[in-house]
Amino acid sequence: MRSAWTASNSAAEILRERRLRTISVAERNASATPFAMVVVRECAHMPEGSGRPLGRTLIRGGSLFDGTGTKAHPADLLIESDRIVEIAPSGVFDGRAVASTIDARGMTVLPGLIDAHIHVGREPDHDGRLYLDAGVTSARDTGGVLDNLRALRARALAGEWIGPRLRICGPLIDGAPTVWPAAMSFIVGEEGDGRNAVDQLAGKVDQIKIYSGVGPELVREIVARARDYGIPTTGDLAATRASEAIDAGIAGLEHASVAYADIVPVELQVSMRIFHEQSPAIWRRERNKGQAATDPSGPDARRLARQLADSGAWFDPTLVVLERLASLADPAVIEAPEVALATPAAQKMWAERVAGRKSAWTEADYATAHRAFEVELAFVGEAIAAGATILVGSDAPNPFVVPGWSLHRELELLVRAGLTPLQALTRATSGNATALGIAHMVGTLRPGKLADVLIVEGDPFADIRATRNVRHVLQGGVVRHSAVAVPARA
């Protein structure tokens, strides 16, 4: 059956010969709140995520951004089964026999977005769908229970799990005491432990993540051993400075906060001992004080930014999670429309985090947290200006970091930090694909690549917030979602 798909300015619609089924957020999540005005429209006879590509499909009339960094231009895209087979100027394919046509007039056609930093979490079946709803078709899990992650990838290959294409780091390599449970932590402490950890993970993970409790000597050991296997390493570090990890040859660094030990004056720094011996809320409160008093454009910050750029190590700032953690008393964050898309269990945990923060913080502490975040944002700007390789990741599902949708906020924050929308979207597609080792499959719209396609209404290169206007998402030629929109943040 041939079909014509289009979208109005007010709500996306799929036009077919059979009836449409409308699902409100309240249907998907009984605890949804009235402010979440999100509507999902699905074809009754072609369920999303059926695992069956549409056949030969023409996406016509849109402005095409291929992910390579060149500007979007009018072009049509032809898909056969799970692959892109041809791209041509608008109108060239008119009259060619196709099974389905997606009318993309007034829309921008992009590669599926890639989230470089997620944790699949406790509810992968629910969250997997959220990523796809938001146009995120691939992601890197940067720390979790290895057996669970490998089982999830097996389910995906069997068509039993619908979610982003996953790259995995497996357990965090950490020192004692660990921040996270033993099931997702590989504890090292003595010489040789790092090599042993890598030996046990080799062949089971795509990358390795080094965590906050690992000191410089063991970081060097882990990085060197991983290099022997050809496994990239990344780090969310505290006991090792970012500059030391770069000198050791680490492939990447996670979170803008990783710069803390390099740019915050030593006399203003606080130890992770506070985290373990008192509480995470008190540790973050005290940490923010030093961060807020730091010059993000000072000599130390500029030195680290230049080192990042010169080394080629990627830098994944995850600004959205840092903004959320600095704003747990802000109604704009805790009552954001997309929060209603999270499961009741997640919302309950996030509310408990808010309550715990309120018991340990004053109004002045919240103000300090906002200033500390602005320092982190400004340092990212320094890294961008220096030419660092920026990745785009969200760290979902941390508190109020909603899977999928939070990547759009990350794009907005990176633009605020200094990237152009074109640069940000290039980093979220081909840039992330290169860092994750999947650029041969996805990240650009090119003949022969998998048909991971995001279609949004409007022009995200004029206003990056237009990426939220998701109209259609294809993953490997399969329609994963059509027509969901979350209002842009003001």
170: left (phi over 0), alpha (psi -120 to 50) or beta: left
Cα–Cα distances in Å, from 119 out to 105, 144, 321, 431?
36, 7, 12, 20
Would the CA dihedral through 472, 477, 479, 480 be positive or negative? negative
Give the pLDDT confidence score for residue 489 in this predicted structure: 41
d(CA 16, CA 479): 14
Which is more confident, 51 or 308? Answer: 308
Q: Which of the residue ranges 42-51, 107-116, 284-293, 410-419 would you say has the lowest mean pLDDT?
A: 42-51
Structure-token match 């975040």, residue found? 373
Residue 199 lies in a domain: no
d(CA 370, CA 383): 20
Q: What is the mean pLDDT of residues 364-381?
A: 98
Residue 224 lies in a domain: no
Give me the count of residues in the chain: 490
Residue 206 lies in a domain: no
Helix locations, 89-204, DSSP H:
124-133, 146-157, 193-201
Instruction: Count CB atoms within 10 A of the CB of residue 309.
Output: 18
Check whether residue 97 and residue 121 sit in a common domain.
Answer: no
Neighbouring-strand partners of residue 450: 83
Structure-token match 């602005």, residue found? 374
Check whether residue 126 and residue 47 sit in a common domain.
Answer: no
DSSP β-ladder status, 233-235 and 252-254: parallel
Using the 8-state DSSP alphabet, how is residue 299 labeled?
H
Residue 246 lies in a domain: no
Half-sphere exposure for 462 (CA within 13 Å, toward CB): 7
CATH number at residue 475: 2.30.40.10
Check whether residue 119 and residue 105 sit in a common domain.
Answer: no
d(CA 3, CA 133): 21
d(CA 210, CA 185): 10
Give the pLDDT confidence score for residue 52 in this predicted structure: 72
Check: CB of residue 353 under 8 Å from CB of residue 399.
Answer: yes
Q: What is the mean pLDDT of residues 341-345?
A: 95
Give the pLDDT confidence score for residue 486 in this predicted structure: 36
What kind and span of H or E run contains 325? Answer: helix 319-325
Query: Using one digit for the tens of pLDDT, what is the confidence trace for 80-95?
Result: 999 999 999 999 998 8
Check: CB of residue 390 under 8 Å from CB of residue 419.
Answer: yes
Structure tokens at 289: 């004080």
367 has a pLDDT exceeding 80 = yes
Dihedrals φ, ψ of 50, to 5°?
-70, -15
List, in order, residues 6 or more apart from 154 with CB less than 8 Å away. Answer: none
Check whether residue 293 and residue 359 sit in a common domain.
Answer: yes
Which is more confident, 9 or 215? Answer: 215
Check whether residue 372 and residue 450 sit in a common domain.
Answer: no
Residue 203 lies in a domain: no
**Domain end marker among 436, 453, 469:** 436
CATH number at residue 261: 3.20.20
Check: CB of residue 296 under 8 Å from CB of residue 263.
Answer: yes
User: Domain tally for the chain?
Assistant: 2
Check whether residue 156 and residue 305 sit in a common domain.
Answer: yes
Structure tokens at 320: 């959205």
Cα–Cα nearest to 127, from 202, 31, 29, 225: 29
d(CA 127, CA 198): 29
Check: CB of residue 18 under 8 Å from CB of residue 45.
Answer: yes
Check whether residue 295 and residue 411 sit in a common domain.
Answer: yes
Check whether residue 428 and residue 459 sit in a common domain.
Answer: no
Check whether residue 84 and residue 146 sit in a common domain.
Answer: no
pLDDT above 90 coverage of the chain, percent = 84
Give the pLDDT confidence score for residue 35 in this predicted structure: 23
Query: Using one digit for the tens of pLDDT, what is the confidence trace for 99-140?
Result: 999 999 999 999 999 999 999 988 999 999 999 999 999 999
Check whether residue 292 and residue 318 sit in a common domain.
Answer: yes
Structure tokens at 67: 């992910």
**In 25-126, beta strands by DSSP E:** 39-43, 57-60, 63-64, 73-74, 76-80, 83-88, 100-103, 107-111, 113-118
Residue 280 lies in a domain: yes
Cα–Cα nearest to 235, from 272, 205, 197, 209: 209
Q: What is the mean pLDDT of residues 408-432?
A: 98
Kindly tell me the number of DSSP H helices and DSSP E strands found in the chain: 17, 24
d(CA 279, CA 273): 9
49 has a pLDDT exceeding 50 = no
29 has a pLDDT exceeding 90 = no
Using 50, 70 and 90 to split pLDDT, how confident is the model at 51?
low
236: left (phi over 0), alpha (psi -120 to 50) or beta: beta
d(CA 238, CA 175): 11
Q: 68 is in which domain, residue-wise?
A: 4-111+444-482
Check whether residue 283 and residue 343 sit in a common domain.
Answer: yes
Check whether residue 265 and residue 142 sit in a common domain.
Answer: yes
DSSP β-ladder status, 389-390 and 453-457: unpaired
Query: Using one digit for the tens of pLDDT, what is the confidence trace for 242-277?
Result: 999 999 999 999 999 999 999 999 999 999 999 999
Give the pLDDT confidence score for residue 43 in this predicted structure: 29
Residue 318 lies in a domain: yes
Residue 64 lies in a domain: yes
d(CA 319, CA 333): 14
pTM value is: 0.89
